[in-house]
Amino acid sequence: MPDLREDLERLADFVGEPRTFVDLERSRRRRERRRRAEGLIAGLAVIVVAALFLVTTFDGRPVATPQGTADALPTATPTVWPENAINGDSAERVQAAVDNGDGTLQWRTDPKEVTERFARQILGRSVDITGIAMQPGHWKASMIPCPAGFLQGDAGCGNPEDGLQIDLVQPEAQGDGGIWSVAAVTSDRLDVSIDAPAGEPVAEGADVTFNVSQLGSSTAAHLRVVGSNGCNVVFAAEPDVTADGQRILRVPKLYQASPSCVASAGGYAIAYVTDDTTLALPDPIAEPTAIESPWITVVPFAIDWDREIITPTPSSGIGSSDPSGAVPTDSPSVPGSANGPAGIEIPAAIESASSQSCSPIPATDFDIFFKGVQLVGCGRWTAGTELTMHFESAEPNVATGLMLFHTDQCSEHLCRGEPVWRAPVEIDPPARTFHVDPLDAGSYILLDPVHPMTTAVAIDVS
């Protein structure tokens, strides 16, 4: 269709001239006036917030770092920024560079500067620090993020209700020369609690409870629990939660191990807010994003991971473990059609899609993308209708395939028997489209027989 571009250009010509920069300035001023008006309404709240901060800081109330406080920092305190378990950056290396006189990193020894840089780079705002409390190795501040164009201390610098608390720790060395890292950020509007004893690593599968009931109706919260063992990054997420109470996500299982995995695993739970017209980007800590409202809560954690090596190798029997730590075999050979008496091992206790936060809208078009990343998810398909499945692998020379089982065929750990539907295991082409014949209503499990421990997806057909 060689003329398509011309056709599109012609159609786009109908839109005419865009509004001018003067119009944009006017819109922005209106928006800022609205924000300031909201700030005035909440004026009383600042007194309450400040008073509460003074009363509650270090009065024994646990701070937002479930992995420890300044009083009892574990040996490897999880942090959020700049170093965290996902980006794999090393506080030890930074501390060593500072100790060796690296002038470009001297800012890391000033907790106020670290706080301000975090706000600039992650929130996209400056901050007005309204209260500081300090103990050896632990710095805690109350701050109000300021919109662009406002300076710290300006009367219009943010709304009191936008206030955040930030916890910094010195992960390597306490005192003047020790670097500071952000250990938690807390908004009173976004409560995040992890089901684990303070200071202890959390278990894979542990509940993370998000309470977003304090949000207004025109906002949406975006929730994510992300973990990594250095070779897998896994996550559970629920974007676009409007103000209606609690959500629970679970710390994802890390599964595969290989020699490239780090010795310790960790991650963080994050909740942030946009207005309800903005689609969330995955992770504002990992990449700049358009955070409309400066409310964000981030809680890091260590994961209790036993480095169990689970590498299903079709040739040696699905579910066998390879103590050498080899990555899964990518041989195109697959289990027999009956899958043998052992069956195909799957992650334990896959919940049905209906008990997970799947889209309520049944799909007739389904995308699956394989990128060597463990992801246990869910989907909802339409019963009695042919389904088109787009399956794509980003891993070169890795064999992949698909099998669909009734949940009746699967026990807690294994799926057995002839799958309801299957796509052959192949290396090429990387992108394939399949048509799945109409299915009866019910619960199914879709998995890649070559990588079943990393790709089991609960499907509800309704």
- Label residues 294-325 b or e (16+ Cβ within 10 Å = b): bbbbbbbbbbebeeebbbbbbeeebbeebeee
* Alpha-carbon gap, residue 67 to 86, rounded angstroms: 16
CB of 47 to other proteins, least distance (A): 28
* Alpha-carbon gap, residue 183 to 405, rounded angstroms: 43
Query: Of 235 and 255, which CB lies nearer to other proteins in the complex structure?
Result: 235
Query: Of 7 and 102, which CB lies nearer to other proteins in the complex structure?
Result: 7
Q: Hunting for tokens 């036993």 — which residue is that?
A: 306
Q: List C-alpha distances in Å: 389 to 144, 364, 375.
A: 47, 8, 17
Angle, helices 43-56 vs 21-41, to 10°: value is 60
Q: With CA atoms as reference, report the closest residue to 164 among 212, 111, 115, 222.
A: 115
- In this structure, the chain runs to a length of 462
CB of 408 to other proteins, least distance (A): 22
CB of 338 to other proteins, least distance (A): 25
CB of 456 to other proteins, least distance (A): 9
CB of 147 to other proteins, least distance (A): 6
Whether the Cβ atoms of residue 182 and residue 81 lie closer than 8 Å to each other? yes
Query: Of 324 and 397, which CB lies nearer to other proteins in the complex structure?
Result: 397
CB of 125 to other proteins, least distance (A): 8
Query: Of 12 and 55, which CB lies nearer to other proteins in the complex structure?
Result: 12
Query: Of 7 and 418, which CB lies nearer to other proteins in the complex structure?
Result: 7
- Kindly report the three-state secondary structure assignment for every residue of 146-166: ECCCCCCCCCCCCCHHHCEEE
What does the binding site for other proteins look like in residue numbers (CB under 8 A)? 1, 4-5, 7-19, 21, 23-24, 27-28, 31, 120-121, 124-125, 147-149, 233, 235, 240, 276-282, 286-288, 290, 292, 361, 365, 367-371, 373, 375, 377, 379, 390, 392, 394, 430-431, 433, 455, 457
Query: Of 288 and 438, which CB lies nearer to other proteins in the complex structure?
Result: 288
- Label residues 339-352 b or e (16+ Cβ within 10 Å = b): beeebbbbbeebeb
